[in-house]
Structure 1
Amino acid sequence: MLLLRFLLLALLTALLIDTVQCKKICKEQDSCCSFVEGFPGKLKAIRSSYAAIRDYYESNDDLDTSLFNRTVLEHFKNPYGCSVMNDILHFYLDTVLPRAMNQNKFGKHIDRIGVIFKDLKREMIKCKNYFTCQKPFEISRVKSTYSQMGDKGLYKAMGELDMLFNYIEDYMASQRHKH
């Protein structure tokens, strides 16, 4: 029991130190830090909306080719992750989600994903210094593969949203520890 209390106290102390450190940095870039700190709540909301439509898109995705392979994940993890995320959000907001909305099957859920993506994109642009955005990532391979998939590309892109959410979550978490 004493060991358990010690471990809980140590965990609370570590969390408090991390929170104090982030608050110290947040004073300089308050809204950007607050956005990153609050992102887990948005991620929970977006995953909830996606859970309602996932089975439909995954069951209609019969393609073996992947849009989001390890290369894309590695791009998310490098210093250019902000640019990668910006390009991919742009791709989903301008290409994938409007097409999914035209199917008019899951409008409420797709719209909610779109709203959160728009908010994330807006914050990424506003906080480009916070995220140290640079531009070496080329989304052209993802867009080209998507185009080659034809009508099935929509199912592939929507079916892989959970993978994209994981990439975004990893990137946002890395930004919390960095700042």
Structure 2
Amino acid sequence: MIFSGVMFSLIMFLLSDKAHCRKVDCKSECCSLVEGFPVRLKELRSSYSEIQNFYQSTDDLGALIDDTVEHSINSPYGCHAMNEILRFYLETVLPKAVKKNQFKTPIDSIGNIFQELKRDMLKCRNYFSCQKPFEISNIKNSYEKLEGKGVDKAMGELDLLFNYIEKYLASKRVKHY
């Protein structure tokens, strides 16, 4: 009897609205970008897992991507911050990382997703309510001071950047209430 009561309660919960994952019916590319990002994030993390140990094992330096970056990404200027960070990785970090070691395939995969994300973020500026450009000069200055170790540092912190991007895009998801 107790088992059937528990089973009945479980079945009722699973049939309730609270247990259902609702598919969001996106009517714009921007909504699709946000709602589809978990798949891209999984691909980013999978590619990064192939190189993460290498970069993090050589990282004995202070943070390059710190909580000010997270704050900027989660501010009203977040889309500009994202654009600047993605540009920094695409133009500065990833090309040097490819030249520096044997990890061309996972780095190229990360770069391709970053390029698509940057393109899509620019198309969706209005969707993200961008307000003001992000200032990336502090990160670039720190990176340049690290000289050859800058690439290792920036690559070693990609997982942190993925978390910031995920949090930002998740904050833009359609609420299911």
Match of 1:135 in 2: 132
Q: Quick check: 1:54 aligned with 2:60?
A: no
Equivalents in 1 of 2:54, 2:144: separation in Å? 21
Number of matched pairs? 169
Question: Of the two, which has the highest radius of gyration?
Answer: 2
- What TM-score do you get using the length of structure 1 for normalisation? 0.88
Pairing of 1:73-152 with structure 2 (within 5 A): 73-152=70-149
Equivalents in 1 of 2:154, 2:115: separation in Å? 17
Relative to structure 1, is the Cα distance of residues 155 and 104 closer, same or farther in structure 2, using a 3 angstrom cutoff? closer
Identity over aligned pairs, percent? 55
Q: CA deviation at 1:3?
A: 2.5
- What TM-score do you get using the length of structure 2 for normalisation? 0.89
Which digits, 9 at most, give the CA deviation of each residue in 1:37-87, with x for residues without a partner?
111111101100000000001111121x21111111111111111111110
Match of 2:168 in 1: 171
Residue number among 1, 9, 14 corresponding to 1:8 in the alignment: 14
| Secondary structure at the counterpart of residue 176 of structure 1 | coil
CA RMSD of aligned residues (A): 1.6
Which digits, 9 at most, give the CA deviation of each residue in 1:136-171, with x for residues without a partner?
421111111111111111111000000000000001
Q: Quick check: 1:34 aligned with 2:25?
A: no
- Spell out structure 1 runs of 4+ moving beyond 3 A: none
Relative to structure 1, is the Cα distance of residues 44 and 117 closer, same or farther in structure 2, using a 3 angstrom cutoff? same
Q: CA deviation at 1:135?
A: 2.1
Deviates further, 158-167 or 95-104: 95-104
Which digits, 9 at most, give the CA deviation of each residue in 1:91-124, with x for residues without a partner?
0000000000112410000000000000000000
Equivalents in 1 of 2:19, 2:134: separation in Å? 39
**For residue 81 of structure 2, what is the amino acid of its counterpart?**
V
More helix by share: 1
